Amino acid sequence: MENKNQFSLLLERRFGPFFLTQFFGAFNDNVYKNALVILVAYHAAAYSSADPNLLTNLAAAIFILPFVLFSASAGQIADKFEKSAIMRIIKAVEIGIMLVGTAGLLLTSLPLLFAALFLLGLHSTFFGPVKFAILPQTLTPAELIGGNGLVEMGTFVAILTGTLIAGVLVTLQSGITWVSAVIILISVLGFLSSLAIPKVPAVAPALKFDWNAFRETWSNLKFARQNRTVFLSLLGISWFWFYGAMFLSQFPNYSKNVLGGNEHVVTLLLALFSVGVAAGSLLCERLSGHKVEIGLVPFGSIGLSVFAVDLFFATPESVVQAGAGAWQYLTQPGAWRVAFDLFMIGMFGGFYIVPLYALIQSRCAPSHRSRVIAANNILNALFMVVAAGLAVLGLSAGLTIAQLLLLTGVLNAAVAIYIFLLVPEFLLRFLDWLLVHSIYRLQTSGLVNVPEEGPALLVCNHQSLADALIITAACRRPIRFVMYYSIFNVPVLRFIFRSMKAIPIAGSKEAPEVLERAYDDIAAALADGQLVCIFPEGQLTRDGQIGAFRPGITRILERSPVPVVPMALSGLWRSIFSRNRDKWKVATLFPKVALHVGTPVDAASATVDGLHALVRSLIVADNRASARA
């Protein structure tokens, strides 16, 4: 299960039908929206005497309005009722919405077209909380990041293909008829795929509805704030939609007035961005090692800023050739650099957004998950509105489009720094991820023995100063490490250790008060259902062999009788962070290190000598496997 490929989920009933359902929905949204925008922009006289630009912006506002008004109710429904039934009802209603839209297209009725657009926004409002809340109930923790990656990939591929098909169909002689046929067909396919989604139990069937949208939204945000990491993840996701809305809204004018391209260049820019997001979303599983790796969030944020800044410098100062098609544009000097920057912005956006969604799903209380996601949808809509307002103000103040995109990249860096300072866990996980993926080649076995929830005491041999980072990188859950207090108090490193919530400990003779406080903190952490890791040798190995275990384990288990998980590290004795005197001679580039996790032992059966034997057996087994290799 640990090494299962994410694409295999598409063939399983618990995920495949849901994936198709959400893909068809996103595809239909974009076919209809973009067909409407093109018709209003180029054939406005047939629908209304109003300014086409006004109608285009009004269409965007109409689609977003339901998210603000009804997200709170949508979240409550998703938590209260069985989710597959909700999806089937929503997809059945979508067929009716598309019939209204078809009537608007065939009758050239702007009121009907806008009514269908509003209802389509309402459809997305109610589908969103179910879409993201269903994944933690149908996927294992090891599959969560891969499942989210597939969903994000599918969404942006649907956006791209829906936009392309809308643009092609509208230009045909019987374009309106073709658009009508496609949107009805896709809505029917979406409903049929929803019929195969297995039942998913309601998480809060006794929930009492609060029809006051503002009060309910505020209540859900207050609930999310109880977990600081979850709340700031909500803000981080909303910031991504601010960033994305700022870029996507500028593509038409950036293409025409800055790059000198026609509408095909606009499509090219959208394709580069969308394919980049899809690629980044899929790569998240491989880069994260099948766990919710929030260390990818700073990595993604760095890329969003770096390539936005480079896009500014890659943007030409003047138009080389007006009205150029996609291929003509790509033959111009510097065009491939612009294309590369937009693709990389999309890819790093995937690295940024997928772990944030997975983190909310995994750390938010199941009873409130849908409502928190619904509150997030409102924040997303508000951030997108703010992005539109800032764009208008910036351009009115004389900023060029390139300067506006540069400003977005700079603001992204400022927002990232602010969030990472508030929650150092993001930055620490990034540094940890960077260390393991740039210095070591980490191999693991038995990680399924680390409990997904509930307290446990992890015991491991101690080979190097990097041991805690290696274990943290391998495990999905946060871990409280017990460490020697003099190292904990090193001036520069103290901030990092405190951010990791490490527990300082000392010998009974040198600092008895520190020792007693450590035992209290360990007991409190275990009582709170956390994982605590200790290195029972009490010091780094001086000869590469496992030393004797100290009796502190017994005292911990007498006070907190929790399962004990034996772990063994190997390969770090030859690293630069060990006490090996010959490490500079034997150290290799990208050394292979391994973490092996044994079967948990209940507290009643755990003894100091027994645990030492278990850890030693894991090391011996690893040595034999290495010798055979």
pTM: 0.74
In this predicted structure, what is the pLDDT of residue 119? 93
Query: How far is Cα 381 from Cα 45, in angstroms, rounded to an integer?
Result: 30
Q: What is the pLDDT of residue 284?
A: 81
User: What are the residues whose beta carbons fall under 8 Å from the beta carbon of 92, sequence distance 6 or more?
Assistant: 191
Nearest CA to 315 out of 307, 303, 324 is that of 307
Nearest of 429, 406, 536 to residue 478 by alpha carbon: 429
Structure tokens at 34: 């973009």
pLDDT at position 4 is 63
Angle between helices 228-253 and 263-288 (to 10 degrees): 160
Say how far apart CA 2 and CA 277 lie, in whole Å. 25
Tell the burial category of 318 from Cβ atoms under 10 Å away from its Cβ (0-12, 13-18, 19+). Answer: exposed
Domain map of the chain by residue range?
Answer: 1-201, 213-423, 439-628
Q: Is 393 exposed, middle or buried (0-12, 13-18, 19+ CB in 10 A)?
A: exposed
Q: How are beta strands 592-597 and 564-570 bridged, if at all?
A: antiparallel
CA atoms within 13 A on the CB side of 300: 32
Which amino acid belongs to residue 340?
F
Superfamily for the 1-201 domain: MFS general substrate transporter like domains (1.20.1250.20)
Give the closest residue to 127 by CA, choosing from 256, 21, 5, 264: 21
pLDDT given for residue 2 in this prediction: 45
CATH fold for the domain made of 439-628: Glycerol-3-phosphate (1)-acyltransferase (3.40.1130)
From the list 458, 460, 609, the residue with the least C-alpha distance to 537 is 460
For residue 503, the surrounding DSSP H or E stretch is: strand 503-505
Largest CA distance in the chain: 90
Superfamily (CATH) of domain 213-423: MFS general substrate transporter like domains (1.20.1250.20)
CA 274/CA 269 separation, integer angstroms: 9
Run means of pLDDT, 10 residues per run, the chain, 629 residues: 69 91 91 80 60 66 84 87 93 94 88 90 89 86 84 88 85 86 94 94 85 79 78 88 87 81 80 89 77 78 93 83 78 89 94 87 81 84 86 85 92 85 72 73 86 91 86 83 83 73 86 90 93 90 87 91 93 76 60 88 91 90 57
- Beta bridge partners of residue 569, listed in sequence order: 595
What residues form DSSP beta bridges with 164? Answer: none
Residue (of 497, 473, 455) closest to 569 by Cα position:
473
